[in-house]
Structure 1
């Protein structure tokens, strides 16, 4: 059910939640980027406000002879922390394994793909900071799926043409450059 809820938000089927996510991301981006607020300052100010309101509400209830507000005990469950840390560990191990395979020279295509990807990431990173990058990602997650859903035929046609052109360019690169790179003798494959 959670996957369907996320899909509903990203495809704007749940318009209120989608608007809240976009609005919240915009408010956070404006606070930190435009107004120059800092995370620790924001957290401190929000906690000061919440504690002051709850304290005053608790004191006011004694004067008007009402029961004090029921403030629930909030705790982070241990299994949630364990599951998140295991998922992070698995992702980090997968990335380290991929980097090891590339570093050992097993796959030239992966090597070139990762180098190009990291170069693009560093170029984007030099143009904007991390928070702006996250904000752009949130906006893209909320616009690209709905646009693709509306214009799927046109996008698929264009993507097919772009893929064909990219394959042609790769074949030229392979013929002119990659095939001329000397390689050692092929190792025999192990049989079980």
Structure 2
């Protein structure tokens, strides 16, 4: 028992010495805290903890990677790029490129209007084959005279891969399928008279086309359409204000006529009912 009492007294002395070594002022200051100070400290600690949790959540949300759809983004980018190239072609941004395309397509259409499609395709293929054969023979003769290595003149083009990938075929087949389905649904909407006004518009258009077809054939209309496609954008760009003014007047007149027709049609429906 005496040993236990002596050990406890020694422990108490050690604790007192440790308390004396610590900063006494800091602990004496804690005694001056009242209840309001303690509540403020507790509230501040709670706010700090909640703010820390909110920051962790925001960091986790920022680190989350949202899965993208590369297929749709690539298709959208390709379509946008193709459309921009088409507009550059029609607006003659590159004169040499546009002149080549316009001249080649116009010559093809004029040839088709004069000759049959079989003759036109045969003449084009024969001309291309004649050029390649003559160039191949010419390069062979020049290489033999110069005693140089005989390299095929079209080696670079022969080594290129011209096979179409399966993804390209599937993508364009899906787009074609969507266009076909949309066309079929629109034809069903028009010919089965789902909307009487739309069907009447189609009837007027077909009636006008009967008179156009009696004067022009399909190839003539294609030639006129191509000439208009390569000339109207430039003409509109130069005289945009005047064209917009007169087109607005014509559009307003047509809308008034359509409204009158719709009013008469609805009046006939109400009388029939």
Distance 1:150 1:80 in 2: 39
Conserved? CA contact 2:106–2:226, under 8 Å: no
Unaligned runs of 5+ in 2: 1-80, 145-149
Q: After TM superposition, list the pairs within 5 Å mapping 1:5-20 onto structure 2.
A: 5-20=85-100
Whose Rg is larger? 2
Conserved? CA contact 2:106–2:223, under 8 Å: yes
1:47 aligns with 2:125: yes
Q: After TM superposition, list the pairs within 5 Å mapping 1:113-132 onto structure 2.
A: 113-132=201-220
Distance 1:161 1:62 in 2: 67
**SS of the residue aligned with 1:12?**
coil
Deviates more, 1:74-83 or 1:23-32: 74-83
Number of positions where the alignment pairs a residue of Structure 1 with one of Structure 2: 183
Distance 1:61 1:155 in 2: 56
Alpha-carbon distance change, 83 to 183 in structure 1, aligned in 2, over 3 angstroms: farther
Tell me the TM-score normalised to structure 1 length: 0.77
Distance 2:163 2:204 in 1: 40
Which residue does 2:234 correspond to in 1? 146
Deviates more, 1:50-59 or 1:109-118: 50-59
Q: After TM superposition, list the pairs within 5 Å mapping 1:87-166 onto structure 2.
A: 87-166=175-254
Unaligned runs of 5+ in 1: 186-192
Q: How far apart are 1:106 and its partner, in Å?
A: 2.4
Q: How far apart are 1:178 and its partner, in Å?
A: 5.2
Tell me the TM-score normalised to structure 2 length: 0.57
Q: After TM superposition, list the pairs within 5 Å mapping 1:55-66 onto structure 2.
A: 55-63=133-141, 64-65=143-144, 66=150
1:23 aligns with 2:94: no
Q: How far apart are 1:96 and its partner, in Å?
A: 0.9
Q: How far apart are 1:171 and its partner, in Å?
A: 2.9
Alpha-carbon distance change, 68 to 44 in structure 1, aligned in 2, over 3 angstroms: same
Give RMSD over aligned pairs. 2.8
Distance 2:103 2:230 in 1: 12
Distance 1:143 1:55 in 2: 38
Alpha-carbon distance change, 179 to 95 in structure 1, aligned in 2, over 3 angstroms: farther
Deviates more, 1:146-155 or 1:71-80: 71-80
Conserved? CA contact 2:90–2:98, under 8 Å: yes
Q: How far apart are 1:94 and its partner, in Å?
A: 0.7
1:75 aligns with 2:75: no
Distance 1:44 1:99 in 2: 37
Distance 1:84 1:76 in 2: 15
Q: How far apart are 1:132 and its partner, in Å?
A: 1.6
